[in-house]
Each structure stands twice: as structure tokens, then as C-alpha cells.
Amino acid sequence: MSLEREETAPIVVIGAGIVGVCTALYLLREGRRVVLLDRGEPGEGTSFGNGSIITEEAVVPVQTPGVVWKVPKMLVDPLGPLAIRWQYLPRLAPWLIQFIAASSPHRVEEISIALRALLRGATAAYDPLVKAAGIEDMIRRSGWISVYETDAGFRSYQPLLDLQRRRGVNLEVLQAAELRQLEPALAPIFKYGVFYPDVSYTVDNLRFVQELAAAFVSLGGELRREAVSGFERADGKVNAVITDHGQTACSAVVVAAGAWSKALTAMLGCRPPLDTERGYHLTLPDPGISPRLPVYSTERGFVCTPLEKGLRIAGTVELGGLEKAPDWRRAEVLFKNASRWYPRLDRRGETKWMGYRPSMPDSLPVIGRAPHHSNAYLAFGHGHCGLSLGARTGQLIADMIAGRDSGIDMAPYRADRF
């Protein structure tokens, strides 16, 4: 690629979910020419159906000490909060081994520190983007509550609350009466709650991504619906992105395609152990209740979020890859659990969904330069923190491409850390 072509060619961002759209916006703010590619419409992938939470307190990884003893139950209980599909186990085994290895107390502490470094300022990172899009009102800074139905459940979570306290997470333990006062819509079945004031949510996660994508276009970005099939490479650089519509020359490329990033990074000679956590949701358009704020259960692994389109009931983890059909019994478990909290829920007109959280076995995303290409960058594997870290990741990638110090150690997020 000639110097003139390199200077005029755009940065190509692959993936129009929340991470890709925010990255494209932050690069556009740098005065760069940016082309955003996706085989579907903005927000149609994982961003379509998440729990809508933007949190800075998620410093506890999915894998915690003792998780190895839970694996047998994951295999025999297909409807549990964390389940593994037997048919997928042979393919999942390498990922699962690394998942278990990352659950030692020492590694959990290190991972928690790295998560905190990313999450600090996650909400503020959205401020310039939502202001430019004119959608400041789409983020509600309400906080959220984690609830516990049993003394045993609350006691079992104490080490992880201590972990959050060591990371400086702002939290308040609530007794039953205080919990009822904060969220009267809940049934009186809980022994304890934990209130996290520094948590926000968006009133419509799909529209949120769509509005940001529209702002990207209105500010001069180029959005194309194209499926990426490869790269043109030479001398340690990516010169062009190949799609079903032809080639687009690039000065740099960012892979932010969520769970579908694995195949793309393999084309770049990089094979991080990315897999997918299949998550489910139900959305009830007229649930018959009006919660004040999102409520989450660590015991049952799901969240209820009040959206402008109704009540979102989302959660669970099913390790089963990208190809198996949904197990809609898991959605029924979500409704059953939510009905304990909010009796007489009205599910008429409900919609259900299953999506793919792009997940690394150590609960840390991949954010950084691709190992073998000086102008290729990776931004995926955010697991349960995709919406939380969308804008933050965009900031960090923009810093890297501009050659700026991001202010945090980026080594924990390298693609080749395994």
C-alpha cells in the first residue's frame, strides 16, 4: 500500500453491535474516516436482547473459586443458571479447562483488578456519544439491587462481596424491610439485598444501538451491510477487507464482531479461546407491575429490567456454541423465577429470544492489537459486560490507534495471553 493510499484509506470496523458502533464513533471523533461493516443491521446480534445494564460493579468473574466442583451439575441440569450441553462438551473442553484454571483465588483476584480497571468510568465513556446522538434520556442512572432469598445464599456470596469491596465498589447491604422500601413491587420473600448505586441501564438496548449508529452516519461515518469473508494482507499489515460486495481498502481494521470474531481473527493468524455463552430473555410488554429499578439474583442468575417496551427478564448461561437450536425451556425457567418476585405477572404478548455472549474463559475481553499485524485491532469477548464496556472499549481502541497512553495496563486483555 502506498503512503498516499494508507493516509486516505478509512479505518474499517467489523461489527455493528454496541462495541463496534461505539468504537466507530470514537474513531470518528478523532477525525478519522471510518467504515462500519456488518452482515446485519446495527444491534441485531447480542445487543438485541441483553439485560440493558451498564454497570461498573461487575468485578466478579463468572469463574470463581470452587467452580470445578460445579461442573458435574452443569452437565446434568440443563435448566440450571449455568449449564453445559453434552453434545458440545468435546469442542468446549479446551475452553472449559482454561475456565477452571482461571478460577483459582490468585487468578480471580488478578482478573477482578483487571475488570475494575476497565469498568471504572464505563458510564462516563458514553456521555459524549449519547450527547452527540441526542439520547441522554435513554440512560437511567438508577442503581440496581442484587437480592437473596435465603440466609445460605447470602452467606455464600460474602467472599465475593468482600472482593467487590477490595476493588472499591460502592455498595450497601439492605435488610428485608429496607429492600421493600427501595423496591415495593417485589414480593416479601427476600432476606437481604445489596444496592449498587453506580449502575445505570438503558430503557431500550436495541434502540440505543440503533440511535448511536444513526448518529455515526449523520456525523459522517459510512455504514454498510456486508459480510466479511477475508483480508488482503502484506508486510505485516491488513491492506483491505474482503466482503461479499468486494474489497474495501483500509488504513486499519478493528474486529468487533462479538461471538463471530473467532473466525475472523483466525484469518489473521490469531486464535484466542473465544466461545459463546447462550443467554435467554423474555420481554413482557404489559407485565402489570412497575419496578423502580433493575433487580438481579446471584442465586438464580437472571435480571429483571424495566424498559420502555415492558419488563425484560434476561439471564442464565448455557455453554452450547453457535449452532444448536435454542432450548426454550430455559426461557420458561426465567418466567417461573420472575413470577416468584412479581406474582401475577401478565405474559400476554411476550417475546422470547436467545443470543450469544462472546466469552473468554477468564472473563476478560480481548482489547488490543492483533499479534501479527501492526494495523489490526481486536475488541471482543466482553461476556456479560458488552453493554457496560461498549463505549469504554471504543475509547481504548481509539487511544491505541492514535498512539496515546490509555492510562491503564492493557496487558491483561491481550489476545495472546493464553
pLDDT class of 24 with cuts at 50, 70, 90: very high
**Does the pLDDT at position 73 exceed 90?**
no
Share of the chain above pLDDT 70, in %: 98
Instruction: Give per-residue pLDDT as tens, 296-311.
Output: 998 888 999 999 999 9
State the pLDDT at residue 279: 93
Question: Residues 65-69: what's their mean pLDDT?
Answer: 88
Model confidence band, residue 234 (pLDDT cutoffs 50, 70, 90): very high
CATH topology of domain 59-105+141-200+274-359: D-Amino Acid Oxidase; Chain A, domain 2 (3.30.9)
Q: Give the separation between CA 21 and CA 369, rounded to whole angstroms.
A: 18
Q: Where are the domains of the chain?
A: 3-47+207-272+363-413, 59-105+141-200+274-359
Each residue of 317-359: pLDDT tens digit?
899 999 999 999 999 999 999 999 999 899 999 999 999 999 9
Rg (CA), the chain: 21
Under 8 Å between Cβ of 17 and 204: no
pLDDT for residue 7? 58
57: pLDDT strictly greater than 70: yes
φ/ψ of 5, rounded to 5, equals: -65, -40
What would the CATH number be for the domain defined by 3-47+207-272+363-413?
3.50.50.60
Q: Which residues pair with 278 in a beta bridge?
A: 318, 356
- The helix (run of H) or strand (run of E) holding residue 172 is strand 172-175
Instruction: With CA atoms as reference, report the closest residue to 298 among 219, 414, 193.
Output: 193
Residue-level pLDDT at 4: 37
CB atoms within 10 A of CB 409: 10
Mean predicted confidence (pLDDT) in 120-128: 96
Question: Residue 298: what pLDDT?
Answer: 86
- Cβ pair 334, 316 in contact under 8 A: yes
Q: Which residues fall within 8 angstroms of residue 408, CB to CB, at 6 or more apart?
A: 117, 118
CB 286 within 8 A of CB 47: no
pLDDT tens-digit series, residues 167-179? 999 999 999 999 9
Q: What is the pLDDT of residue 149?
A: 94
Q: How would residue 81 be classed by pLDDT, with cut points 50, 70 and 90?
A: confident
Q: Give 259's contacts (C-beta < 8 A, 6+ positions apart).
A: 45, 46, 274, 275, 276, 322, 356, 357, 358, 380
Q: State yes or no: pLDDT of 364 exceeds 90.
A: yes
Between CA 401 and CA 392 the distance in angstroms is 15
| pTM: predicted TM-score of the whole model, two decimal places | 0.96
Q: Is the pLDDT of residue 5 over 80?
A: no
Residue with cell 463468572: 62
Compute CA distances 331 → 24, 46, 81, 341, 363, whole Å: 33, 16, 11, 16, 24
CA distance 148 to 154: 6
Measured CA angle at 15 (ends 12, 16), to 5 deg: 105
Q: What is the mean pLDDT of residues 265-291?
A: 96
The stretch 64-85 carries a mean pLDDT of: 88
- From CA 24, how far away is CA 29, in angstroms rounded? 9
* pLDDT at 1 exceeding the cut of 60: no
The DSSP result for 386-403, as a single string, is: HHHHHHHHHHHHHHHHHT
| CA separation for the pair 275, 258 (Å, rounded) | 10
- Residue 2 vs residue 110, higher pLDDT: 110
What band does 69 get if pLDDT is binned at 50, 70 and 90? confident
Say which residues have a Cβ less than 8 Å from residue 249's Cβ, sequence separation at least 6: 1, 5, 9, 10, 239, 240
